[in-house]
Amino acid sequence: MTRLALFGTRRSLRILERNALVYRSQWLMLVSGFFEPLFYLLSIGIGLNHLVGDLHVHGRVVSYATFVAPGMLATSAMNGAMIDTVFNTFFKLKISHTYDALLSTPLEVTDVALGEVWWALARATVYGASFIACMALLGDAGSWWVVLCWPGAILTSLAFSCIGLAACTYVRSWQDFDLVTLVQLPLFLFSATFFPISLYPRWLGAIVSFSPLYQSASLLRGFSLGQFDWMMVIRAGYLVAIALVGLRIASQRFRRILTP
């Protein structure tokens, strides 16, 4: 294991171990993660389904619930990753000083940042599975390809946990979390998560295409409906690129804060 490992070493898995141990005593928070997808699917899916009716997606007619479910999955993955990285990591970074003690062990700053990403991914793995199971049970899965939404949700979590990790290093106090919400809410509302991007004027659609949530929702929708095209490779690549840049920024900022 060389110190030059740009994104951390195998030791980062210790952070995963640590978080699992600490959150074991906060199991209620973990259980709530299972209910979130159900709430999304029941409220927006079933509720709006009757009002909106069916939609045409690339020549296929699908119910609104089927159309919106992958968008909700993407949103749920984003929220989960952001809560974990922005809020919880901020607390450990600047309030409880958890990392200060950790860095007196062989762990490096990059291991700590990467470890928090592992944790977000572990949670996304569990929540993603439960969300997709709910989709299938409620008849909102567009095809058997929906199983690909699972790695898709994990990829979404990867991108947003890295963004969140970088963002949390800029948070100075609890008030600054309003700024995070200020970014997260329009991202949720304008990323064509619950209607097709074709409804937007061209110029707005072009802006929206930069939204990682839009790319994720489109990717997951393609998976759920079993409609594949080359754009999906670009979408996935975009999310990976965001993750790499975010993690790099996060590691550098962590280093400045923790080992000045």
Partner 1 sequence: MTAERVVEARHLVKRFGSFEAVKGIDVAIDRGESFGFLGPNGAGKTSTMRMMSAVSQPTEGTITIFGLDPRTDGPDIRRRLGVVAQEDSLELELSVRLNLEMFGRYFDLPRRVVRERVDELLDFAQLTERADDKVDNLSGGMKRRLTIARGLINQPEILILDEPTTGLDPQARHLLWDRLYRLKREGVTLIITTHYMDEAEQLCDRLVVMDRGTIVAEGAPRTLIERYSTREVVELRFSTDDHEEFHSRLSPFAERVEVLPDRVLLYVNEGDETLMEIHAAGITPSSALVRRSSLEDVFLHLTGRTLTD
Residues found near partner 1 in the complex (CB under 8 A): 1, 3, 11, 14, 17-18, 21-22, 25-26, 96-98, 100-108, 259-260
Decide whether 21 or 31 has the Cβ nearer to partner 1. 21
Please tell me the distance from the alpha carbon of residue 133 to that of residue 195, in angstroms, as a whole number: 23
Question: Residue 125 corresponds to which tokens in the numbers above?
Answer: 């793995």
Position 41, amino acid: L
CB of 36 to partner 1, least distance (A): 23
CB of 119 to partner 1, least distance (A): 14
CB 56 within 8 A of CB 64: no
Cα Rg of the chain, angstroms: 19
CB of 6 to partner 1, least distance (A): 15
Decide whether 17 or 229 has the Cβ nearer to partner 1. 17
Decide whether 116 or 140 has the Cβ nearer to partner 1. 116
CB of 25 to partner 1, least distance (A): 6
Decide whether 91 or 145 has the Cβ nearer to partner 1. 91
CB 72 within 8 A of CB 45: yes
CB of 32 to partner 1, least distance (A): 17
139 backbone dihedrals φ, ψ, rounded to 5°: 75, 20
Decide whether 46 or 101 has the Cβ nearer to partner 1. 101
For the chain, report the end-to-end CA distance as a whole number of angstroms: 24
CA contacts within 13 A on the Cβ side of 237: 5
Query: CA dist 249 to 69, 110, 224, 225, 260, Å?
Result: 32, 11, 33, 35, 16
| 1-27 b/e (C-beta count within 10 Å ≥ 16 → b) | eeeeeebbbebbebbbebbeeeeeeee
Decide whether 102 or 236 has the Cβ nearer to partner 1. 102
CB 234 within 8 A of CB 73: no
CB of 116 to partner 1, least distance (A): 15
Query: For residue 163, how far is the Cα from the chain centroid?
Result: 9
CB of 113 to partner 1, least distance (A): 15
